[in-house]
Amino acid sequence: GESVGLHLPTLSVQEGDNSIINCAYSNSASDYFIWYKQESGKGPQFIIDIRSNMDKRQGQRVTVLLNKTVKHLSLQIAATQPGDSAVYFCAVFSGNTPLVFGKGTRLSVIA
């Protein structure tokens, strides 16, 4: 089955710097990828998604990069703010199978 991992469990960045959170997945048939943000005591919140026919997608201050060759996904947050402090999960769809979550990276923003 699909396994989804992240390279770092925690990440600390200075306010205003850019953040990069990484994720690796195992199933080459995975075709749809989502980044979720989870604040303390809340459920996962959709940030941005990307389909496997793309390698980059941009949102407001966030960019997702997909490298299907090495099965790697990253989330870039520009000008990181204190409100960005949370746990970030990548999540993967393979066909119609339910969403599989990675382990999460805790982002701490230092003011």
Partner 1 sequence: EPEVTQTPSHQVTQMGQEVILRCVPISNHLYFYWYRQILGQKVEFLVSFYNNEISEKSEIFDDQFSVERPDGSNFTLKIRSTKLEDSAMYFCASAPQSGGMGGYTFGSGTRLTVV
Give the burial string for 66-101 (b: 16+ CB within 10 Å, else e).
bebeebebbbbbeebeeebbbbbbbbbbbeeeebbb
Locate all alpha helices (DSSP H) within the chain, ordered by sequence: none
Site string for partner 1, 67-106 (x = CB under 8 A): ----------------------x-x-x-xxxxxxxxxx--
Identify whether the C-beta of residue 37 lies closer than 8 Å to the C-beta of residue 91: no
- Report 18-77 residues binding partner 1 (CB under 8 A): 32, 34, 36, 38, 41-46, 49
Give 42 or 70: the residue with its C-beta nearer to partner 1: 42
Residues that bind partner 1 (CB under 8 A): 32, 34, 36, 38, 41-46, 49, 89, 91, 93, 95-104
